[in-house]
Amino acid sequence: MSSESKNTALLCTTEADLATYTYEFAGYSLTGHIGIGKFVRSDTFTVAGYDWAIRVYPDGIDDEASMDSVAASLELMSSDAEPEVFRALLHFIYNDSLPGMGDLQGNDCGEMMRHLFVAADRYAMDRMKLVCQIIICKKLDVETVATTLALADQHI
């Protein structure tokens, strides 16, 4: 076996949608001292077909933040109003399992899992959230990694 090391390069290309959103935090001085980890959320806006919002934490996100710092984050929002997501949510509540996803192909199944993951987080359904995490991780690929990372950043 050769003692030479081999270098391997990986090229990853993704498409990006760019947008500018201006969020005016009116009355900032009135919201100061609302508590560490508490936030003010912007209105929802849409970029690349996804709904987003900005969270501003006037007193910081955690105890390690300085009282002189403000934190902000971008939040991927979900529309729980989609009938398939709501049906799957109810199915899990009553059966402790996800319904069959046989009708969904490829990225549609992954998209459904992401919506269910957000719903599980929103309604504190830890077991459903864990099941969705496992499925999302198994289907992770170069095309979904950025969306999945943003989702994880907001909900884990």
> Which tens digits make up the pLDDT trace of 49-61?
667 788 888 877 7
Residues 99 and 64 in one domain: no
Domain co-membership, 73 together with 1? yes
My answer on whether 55 and 89 are in the same domain is no
CA distance 68 to 57: 12
| Residue 57 structural domain | 1-78
Question: Which of 38, 70, 71, 40 lies closest to 53 in space, CA to CA?
Answer: 40
- Per-residue pLDDT band for 17 (boundaries 50, 70, 90) equals low
Q: What pLDDT is stored for residue 31 in this prediction?
A: 58
Residue-wise pLDDT for 106-153, tens only, equals 667 778 888 888 888 877 888 999 999 898 888 888 877 888 888 777
Domain boundary at 17, 43, 78, which?
Answer: 78
The domain boundary, picked from 31, 59, 78, lies at 78
Q: Which of 27, 44, 78 is the last residue of a domain?
A: 78
Do 1 and 45 lie in one domain? The reply is yes
Instruction: Verify that 27 and 60 share a domain, yes or no.
Output: yes
pLDDT surpasses 60 at 80: no
Give the SS3 label for residue 107.
helix
Residue type, 123: Y
What total of structural domains would you count in the chain? 2
Q: Within 13 Å, how many C-alpha atoms sit on residue 6's CB side?
A: 4
| Amino acid letter for position 16 | A
Is the Cβ–Cβ distance between 58 and 40 less than 8 Å?
Answer: yes
Same structural domain, 6 and 74 = yes
Rounded to two decimals, what is the model's pTM? 0.47
